[in-house]
Amino acid sequence: MKKKGNIYVTEPSLPDLEEYTELLKTIWESKQITNNGELHKRFEQELQQYLNVKHISLFSNGTLALMTALKALRITGEVITTPYSFVATTHSLHWNGIKPVFCDINPHDGNINPDKIEALITPQTTAIMPVHVYGNPCDNEKIQRIADVYGLKIIYDAAHAFGVEKGNESILNWGDLSVLSFHATKTFNTVEGGAIVTKDEKLKKRLDYFKNFGFANETTVIGYGINAKMNELISAYGLLQLHDVDKNIILRKEKTQLYRQLLQNIKGIRLLDEMEDVRYNYTYFPVFIENKQFGKSRDSVYEELKQNGIYARRYFYPLISDFPAYRGLPSAQKEHLPEAGNMARQVLCLPLYADLENRSIERIVEIIRRNAETTK
C-alpha cells in the first residue's frame, strides 16, 4: 500500500469508475468474458485507428507479446539487442531458446548504437531487437539497412513508445513487428496488457493463433501456442483509457517542461535532448547525474530523495548484461558496453505522471539542487 504523502516514480491514470461500471454491465449481460469478445474486437479497432497502424493483436502483457513475436517470426540462433532495458526484453529471447548478443548504446538517446551492430553479426544471427528507450525513436534507417543486407528480421521492443511518431509517422510501423506494453507504469495502461503491431495480415492471424494455444479452429492446432489473450474486462478498461490518453500526454508534457526549466542550470545534471520532429508520450523523465561535475553519486541523490518520501527509480540499473543469468556471455563483458555501463551508473528517473503537482516537482528539484550546492 502506498504511504500517504509519498511521491512515487509513477501513478497510473485510471478511467472513470462509473463509465467502467457501465461497460462491465454489458459484459455481465453477454456472459462472454474472454476469447475475442465484442469489447476486445472494438478495442483492437480503436487502437489501430488511434495509433495509425495496419494491424494490432492484443495480449495479456508485453512480455508474452515479445515471446510470441519471436515465435511467430521463427527466430532462432542469436539476436542482437541492448543491455539497457527492462529485463523482459532479454528474457523473451531466453524463453525461446535464443542467445542474446548485447550491443552498446548511444549516450544521447539510450538506444542501441547501429554503428556497433554489424561487427556482432555471425552466421547464427537471425534478428535485431532494439528498444525505443524512454520513447526515443531508434535510428530505424540505419538498422533497417543492416537488416536488409544480412537478411535479418527486426522486432522493436516498443514498450515505451505508445503513440510516438516521427515525422508524423508512427514508429510502430517500423521493422517486422513492434511490441507494446500497457503495464500500469506506462502513459497508456490497461493494468497489465500488451500488443503486437504488424503490417502483414497473414502474420496478424498467425499471432492471434499463437496467443490462443495455437488453435486455428475448433480442431486444428497450427503450432506451439500459449495462452496470452486479453480478456473483456481489461479490453473495457482499455477502451476508456484510450479516450483520455491525449489529455494525459499533454499533462505529462507540461510536467516535463517544468522539470527541464528548473533543472537546466544545475551543474552535473544531464538531460536527453528531444528531437524536433518527434511526438513523444512522456512516459519517463530520466536525468543523468555526472559524479565529477555534480559532486555526489547518483545513489546518494536517490537515497536523499527516498529519505524525503520521494521514490525515484534507476531505470535501467543494473544492466541486463550484469545479471547472473547473462553476465557469462562474451557480449556481456563490461569492456564491450562502456556507454551502457556509464548511463546505468548515472540514470535516475524522477516522478512523472499526469496528476503530479507542480509544487512536488519544485520540491524534488530543490532537493537535487541542495545536494549539488553542498558539494561546492
Find the mean pLDDT for residues 346-354: 98
The H or E element that residue 365 is part of is helix 358-373
The per-residue pLDDT for 288 is: 98
CB 257 within 8 A of CB 60: no
Locate cell 474472454: which residue? Answer: 34
CB 342 within 8 A of CB 261: no
Instruction: Write the pLDDT tens digit of every residue in 154-180.
Output: 999 999 999 999 999 999 999 999 999
Confidence of residue 364 (pLDDT cuts 50, 70, 90): very high
CA distance 17 to 27: 15
- HEC profile for 60-100? CCHHHHHHHHHHHCCCCCEEEECCCCCCHHHHHHHCCCCEE
Q: Is the pTM of this model over 0.95?
A: yes
Strand order in the sheet with 269-270: 269-270, 285-289, 347-350
pLDDT over 70 at 235, yes or no: yes
The H or E element that residue 145 is part of is helix 140-150
Domain boundaries, the chain: 15-103+110-241, 245-373
Contacting residues for 98 by C-beta, under 8 A, at least 6 apart: 70, 75, 76, 77, 78, 79
Fold of 15-103+110-241: Aspartate Aminotransferase; domain 2 (3.40.640)
The per-residue pLDDT for 329 is: 98
pLDDT over 80 at 66, yes or no: yes
Instruction: Write the pLDDT tens digit of every residue in 7-45.
Output: 999 999 999 999 999 999 999 999 999 999 999 999 999
CA angle (294 as vertex; 293, 298 as ends), nearest 5: 125
Grid cell digits, residue 193: 496488457
Residue type, 162: F
The per-residue pLDDT for 5 is: 85
**b/e string for 285-300 if b means 16 or more Cβ within 10 A?**
bbbbbeeeebbbebee
Nearest-CA neighbor of 178 among 156, 203, 148? 156
pLDDT over 60 at 1, yes or no: no
CA distance 76 to 71: 9
Calculate the average pLDDT of the chain.
96
Find the mean pLDDT for residues 308-337: 98
Instruction: Write the pLDDT tens digit of every residue in 300-322.
Output: 999 999 999 999 999 999 999 99
pLDDT over 80 at 373, yes or no: no
The per-residue pLDDT for 231 is: 98
Fold of 245-373: Aspartate Aminotransferase, domain 1 (3.90.1150)
pLDDT over 80 at 356, yes or no: yes
The per-residue pLDDT for 375 is: 53
Write down the number of H helices and E strands in the chain.
11, 15
Instruction: Write the pLDDT tens digit of every residue in 106-137.
Output: 999 999 999 999 999 999 999 999 999 999 99
pLDDT over 80 at 72, yes or no: yes
Locate cell 548504437: which residue? Answer: 113
> pLDDT > 70: what percent of the chain?
98
Helix (H/G/I), strand (E/B), else coil: 119: helix
CA distance 216 to 270: 51
The H or E element that residue 51 is part of is helix 38-51
